[in-house]
Structure 1
C-alpha cells in the first residue's frame, strides 16, 4: 500500500468504524488489521458468516467488550477513498434521504474489487485469414477492426460480436486471433491535450476560450452552454476538457444515452488521439473493473459515462460536462432517487471542479439558475459552417382529412415525396414505441391490460407479442379476446412507430425505410452500424422515437415530420409543456445539418397552443420566461420545493390506511408550513402486482424539506410488506 500523507492512519488492533455496503443503519466497529490501515481504505470485513466490502469511515466508538470485536480481514489493494468522496456520498445521502450503505453500494459497483492483481489472456487480430468466412466469424473480425487494435478476452469478443464462444475458439485455432498475456487492469492510453482539434468558428473560439479560463481557475463554477442544434457544442466543451487534461486533472463527460457513446468516442479520439475510459451498462464486466481501478489510481484521464459514473473514485477531478443536461434519463427513478445533473454540481462544488451543462434546450432549472446569476451562461446562436437552422411549419390536422388508420397527412406526404425525388432523407417522428398502444376487442370492448400492472399492453408486431412498458412483461398476441373469447375481433388502436412504418411502406413503396426505437433488440455495435449506414444515405425515410432526437447527425436529412405534436401536452405533469418544447425542438434540429436547408413539419390539432406557437416562432427566451412565470406563480420547481411519496403494497386497503395515517400525523411537515396533497391513487396505480398510492409535499423554495421528511418517515412503522419511497425533486408523477 503506498503512503497517503493526507490520510489518518490506524495502527493494528486500533478500533475503526467501518461503513459496509449492507443495509444496516449504523457504522460497525472492527479492529484494524495487521499492518494497520488508512482512513478511507477499502476493506473486507466479516459480517456474520459472510465477507463483505466496507470503507474505513473513522475511529471506532467502543463502549463494549473489546474481546468481542472482530478484526478487519484485509485491506483491498486500491487507493483509499478520498475525504471529498466521503463528503459527497454523505451529502447525496442526506439530500435524497438515502442510507449511507446504499450510497456506498453506488460507489463500489465494480466487479472483482477483492480479486488480487493478476494476468489475463486477451486476443487481437493476427496475419492469417480464416479457411472460410462465415457471418459469425465476420462479426468477430469486425469488432476488432472497429476498435482499432484494442484486444479483448474471449468472453468479451463473443459478447460484443453476438456469437457463441465456439466461433472465437475456432478463429484461435486457425491463428486468425493471436493470444497475448497482459495485466488484468491496464492504464488507459494517454490523451494528448495538445493534439490538433477541429478549426473553430469565431463564436466557438470565443466561448471555448471563456470555458478554458473557467477550468484554468481551478475553482468551482457552473456554466450553462446553450447552443442551437448543430452549433458545435461538443467541439467547444472538448476544449474545456483539453484545458483540464493539460493541468493533469481528470474529466468526466456524462451522456444521457448509451446509443450516443459510440459516435461521441470517435470524436474524442479525433480530438485527443486516443479513446477514453467508458462507464455504462454496455461495457463488459472486465472493462468496468478496469475503469473503476484506473480512475482511482489516476490512470484514466477522461471518463465518458452514464449517470452512475458520477460515483467513480476520481483522484483529481477538474471538470464535469453534462451533455444534453435537460434529458430526463439523468434522473434515477429506482433505488437511490437522484438527478445526476444536480449531483454533478454538488460533486464539483466539493472538489473545486468546473461544471459545463450543455444543451440546445436547457431545463427550466438551469435556465432559471443562469438568469439568477448562479450559473454563467454562454450561447452559440449559429450552426457550424454553411448549415442553417430548419424552418418550422405547422400542419393543421383539423383541415386535413385523414382516413381511419392513417397518420401521415397528405401535406406531409407531398414533402416526403419531394425529398425522395431529390435523393434527400426524411424523418418521421413519433414518440411511441411498438405497433399500437391499445388492443381492443370490437365484440365486448375489452382492452388487453397487463396482469400485474394498471397499464394497457402495447402490441409489438415485429415480435408478435404484447408488452407492458411498466414492468416489461410480455405475452403472445392472442387469437381470441381474453374476456369474451370471440376470435377475429381484436383491433389495434392508435399508432406506434411500427404501425407508422407499415403505413410508410404502403405510401412510399419505393423508399428504403429504417426504424430506430430504443426497444429494438440491437447490440451497441449493431446500433452503431445502423446509424452509420443511415448517415451514409442507405435509408430514404427514418422512422423513430426520441432515440433519434439525441445527438445524431444525418447529413442528407432535410425533412422532419412530427406525427403527433400534441401527444406530450396531454396529462397534468407540470413539466409537460417544457418537455414537449424540448423534444420537438431537438428532433426538428436533425434537419438541415449540412449544406442543404431543412424544414420541420409539425402535425397538430391545436396550432394555436402556446407551446406549439413557441416551437414555430423559435422565440425560446419568451417561452422560458412565460413558463417560469407560471411555475413561480404556482410555487412549484424551480421556484418551490416538492417531494413525492409513494406507498406500495399488495393490499390496496392497507396501503391507503397507512397513507391516510401518515397524512393525519404529519406534524413535522406542518411545522415548516409545507402543504400536503393526497393520498390518492398514483396515475399508474398498480405495478408488478403492488398497489401504489401517492402523497405530494410542497413547500416554499427556501424551505429545507429533508429533516422534516426524515422525522415524519421515522415516526411511521409500516407493515413489512409495504414500501415507502421518498423522491426529492420528482421529475415524473406516475
Structure 2
C-alpha cells in the first residue's frame, strides 16, 4: 500500500530482504522510489516475471496490524482511497529513516602527544572523570569554548562513542497527588477505571461546565498507564490547550507528548517514533492523532466530543469522534467521550444502550451555574451605529465597578463582515469564492476567510468609481472591542480569535494574561468557549445569539445551543456567581427558552423528534457528493449525467444537483447532491455503484462526505 490516492495496493516481488506485513519499504513507481507498507501477500494475478522488486526495507517499527485494519476500515466507510488514509498514518516521512546515532566523547584509548594548554587540560580532566558527553556538554562542564573540544578531537586525544539515545519523553508520575474528587466525581472515575478491564466499551461523561470532567477521566488515564498501556486524548483545538496542559502537569508531573500541525518536523519525527516504540505513554493531540502507530493503545478520550472541529471536511472526510470509537473497538479497549453539551448522536447511542452514561450534574467545589437572561433587542435596541444593548452595557458597568472580569462573545472575526459602496451598493467580494471580503481593520486588509485572498481597501469603488465612499456593515469582534473601548476607556480590553492566537504559545500567553487579571474585558469568537477556567470572570455577553440559527443546517439549533451553553459556562466558575446576557431578536426561540430555563434534556428530546420524523441522522443516514471543477459548464454537464444515473431505491432519496451555498470556492465551481436513506441501507455500496455508472471527467473532482456536518 502506497500513501497515494490510488485504488488499492500494488504488487511487488520480495527483494533481497525477507518481509513481514507492516514493514515499511521503498519501491519503484513511475521512475522514482516511494515509501509504502507491506499490506499482505500478493494475489498472484500479475505474472511474477513482470513484478518489480522491493528496493529496500526501511529501518522503522512495523505499522501495527490494528492500525492497518483501521486504515482499511476508515477507507471503506468514508469511500476514500486507502492510500489517502494511509498517508495520514505516514505523515512524517523522515520518521521512516534510522535515527542518527547519539555520539559522546571520551578520552582516547591511546592519547597521542598534543599541544598542551590550560583550557585543554580542563577538558581532559573533565573527560577523565565524567561519562562520555556530547561536545557541547563537555565544553560546558570544562568551562571552555567548543573550539577547544574540537581541537582535541582533531588531535586524537578524544574519541567518539555511540551513546544510548536519551528518553524522548519523561514518564508520568503515577504516584503524584491527585485532586480531591467529590462523591459524584469519584463514582464516575470508578466506572471509567472498571471499564479498562472489560474490553471494548464507550462511556459518555455528560457533565455541566465546571463539573470536573477532566479530573474524572484523568483517573482512567492513570489506571491505563499503570497497566503499561498507551493513552490518546483528543482535543478539538490543540493550539488552545494551555490550561489543560497545566492541569495535566499538576496531576502527572510531566508534559505529555503533543501531536498537532504546529509542531516542527523534528518534534513530529521524535513523537511518531516514540509512539511506535511505546516510549510515548500518553499523546494529546488533534484529530490526526488517531492515525499514529500506537504499539499498545489502551484508552482513547475525546474531550468536547460535540465539537465540530473533530470533523475533517477535505481530502478524507471523517469524524474523529466516530473513528475514535471504531479504533477502540478494533483494539478491544474503552473509549471515553466527554462534554457538557453532548451531541445528539452520542445521546442517542446512550438511549439505545450502546454507550454507558457517566453523569456529573453539579459544578465542582460548590460553584453554581450562571443565570442566563435573554435581552430582547426589539425592546432594548442598541443606539444607532452601536451593537451593545443598554442592558448589556449596564451589566458591564457593574462588573467593572466590582473589579471583576467580563467577556463579550461574537462568532465573527475581523471588524465588519461586509463592505459596500454607499453610492451604488457594490459589495466587495472574493474573486475566487462565493464570499464577501471581511474587513480586518487592525491588519489594514479585506480578507476572504475561505481562500485567504486579501486586498487593501480600494481608493474608489470598482463599479461606479466613487471615491472613499465605502461603508462597513455589521459587527465583527474588532468593532465590538472598539465600541467597548469608547464605553470603558479605562478598561484593559483584548480580542481573542484565531487571528490573535495563532499557535499554542500565543494562546498560552493570552490565557495567562486573563488568569492573572491583566485583562478586564475579553472580546472573542468561539475559541473563548473551549473549556477555560477564569475565576474572576463573572459576566458573559453574547452580542448576537441568533447567529447560526438560520441557513438550513439540520444541526443549526443543536449547534447553537451547544456553543452558547459552552460560552455561558465560562461565567461564575469559582465562588463568585455568574451572569450571561444573550442579545437576541428571538427570545422565544426554542434554543433561547432552553438556555434560559436550563431544560437541556427537553430541548434535545424535541430536536430528536424533529430528526426522527425527517429521517435525518442519527435516525437516518446522510451523505453528500460535492462536484467541483474549474470549468462551470463541465461541472454542470457531469452533474446532469450523474443525476440521470441516480439510484432509485426504496428508503433512498437523492436531492440535487444544486449549486452549493459556497458555489465558488478557491476558484472551483461546486455542485452538490445529498443522499438520504434509512439506517438499514448500505449507503456506501449504493454510492459506489452510482459513481461506477457515471465516471467523472478528469477535470471534475468528486468528494464523498459520509455523515456531513457542513452544508456549504
Please indicate, yes or no, whether the TM-score normalized by the shorter chain is above 0.5: yes
In structure 2, the partner of 1:569 is 549
Q: CA deviation at 1:519?
A: 2.2
Q: CA deviation at 1:30?
A: 1.8
Secondary structure of the residue that 1:28 maps to in structure 2? coil
Equivalent residues of 1:186, 1:290 under 8 A apart: no
Distance in 1 between the 2:365 and 2:416 partners? 41
Secondary structure of the residue that 2:312 maps to in structure 1? coil
Corresponding position: 1:95 with 2:77: yes
Distance in 2 between the 1:539 and 1:463 partners? 22
In structure 1, the partner of 2:179 is 198
Secondary structure of the residue that 2:39 maps to in structure 1? strand
Corresponding position: 1:220 with 2:207: no
Corresponding position: 1:26 with 2:8: yes
Distance in 2 between the 1:701 and 1:64 partners? 39
Corresponding position: 1:652 with 2:640: no
In structure 1, the partner of 2:114 is none
Q: Which moved more, 1:561-570 or 1:397-406?
A: 397-406
Equivalent residues of 2:186, 2:216 under 8 A apart: yes
Structure 1 residues 225-374: aligned runs within 5 Å: 225-374=205-354
Corresponding position: 1:635 with 2:619: no
What per-residue deviation string (whole Å, max 9, x for no partner) do you get for residues 359-417 of structure 1?
00011100111111110011111111131111111111111142222111111111111
Distance in 2 between the 1:609 and 1:570 partners? 12
Equivalent residues of 1:436, 1:492 under 8 A apart: yes
Corresponding position: 1:54 with 2:32: no
Structure 1 residues 378-417: aligned runs within 5 Å: 378-417=358-397
In structure 1, the partner of 2:90 is 108
In structure 2, the partner of 1:211 is 192
Equivalent residues of 2:344, 2:608 under 8 A apart: yes
**670, 679, 689: which is aligned to 1:701?**
679
Q: Which moved more, 1:621-630 or 1:716-725?
A: 716-725
What per-residue deviation string (whole Å, max 9, x for no partner) do you get for residues 26-83 of structure 1?
3222222323111111111111321111111111233444343222122222222222
Q: CA deviation at 1:259?
A: 2.8
Distance in 2 between the 1:447 and 1:256 partners? 34
What per-residue deviation string (whole Å, max 9, x for no partner) do you get for residues 684-726 of structure 1?
1111121111111000122110011011112222222111111
Q: CA deviation at 1:25?
A: 1.9
Structure 1 residues 411-430: aligned runs within 5 Å: 411-430=391-410
Q: When the two structures are superposed, what TM-score results if normalisation uses the length of structure 1?
A: 0.88
Corresponding position: 1:692 with 2:648: no
Distance in 2 between the 1:712 and 1:183 partners? 56
Corresponding position: 1:439 with 2:439: no
Equivalent residues of 2:572, 2:579 under 8 A apart: yes
In structure 2, relative to structure 1, the CA distance for the partners of 1:483 and 1:172 (3 Å cut) is farther
Secondary structure of the residue that 2:711 maps to in structure 1? coil
Q: When the two structures are superposed, what TM-score results if normalisation uses the length of structure 2?
A: 0.90
Distance in 1 between the 2:631 and 2:614 partners? 35
Corresponding position: 1:582 with 2:562: yes
Equivalent residues of 2:387, 2:543 under 8 A apart: yes
In structure 2, the partner of 1:491 is 471
Equivalent residues of 1:297, 1:315 under 8 A apart: yes
Corresponding position: 1:459 with 2:459: no
Q: Which moved more, 1:27-36 or 1:707-716?
A: 27-36
Answer with 1 or 2: which has the greater Rg: 2
In structure 2, the partner of 1:188 is 169
**665, 686, 691: which is aligned to 1:713?**
691
Distance in 2 between the 1:678 and 1:636 partners? 17
- Number of matched pairs: 663
In structure 2, the partner of 1:510 is 490
Q: CA RMSD in A?
A: 2.1
In structure 2, relative to structure 1, the CA distance for the partners of 1:248 and 1:506 (3 Å cut) is same
Corresponding position: 1:606 with 2:586: yes
What per-residue deviation string (whole Å, max 9, x for no partner) do you get for residues 262-281 of structure 1?
32222212211211111101
Distance in 2 between the 1:553 and 1:120 partners? 42
Q: CA deviation at 1:618?
A: 0.6
What per-residue deviation string (whole Å, max 9, x for no partner) do you get for residues 232-275 of structure 1?
10000011111111111111000000233332222212211211
Structure 1: gaps spanning 5 or more residues: 1-18, 123-153, 155-170, 174-179
In structure 2, the partner of 1:44 is 26
In structure 2, the partner of 1:726 is 704
Distance in 1 between the 2:586 and 2:8 partners? 56
Distance in 1 between the 2:18 and 2:641 partners? 50
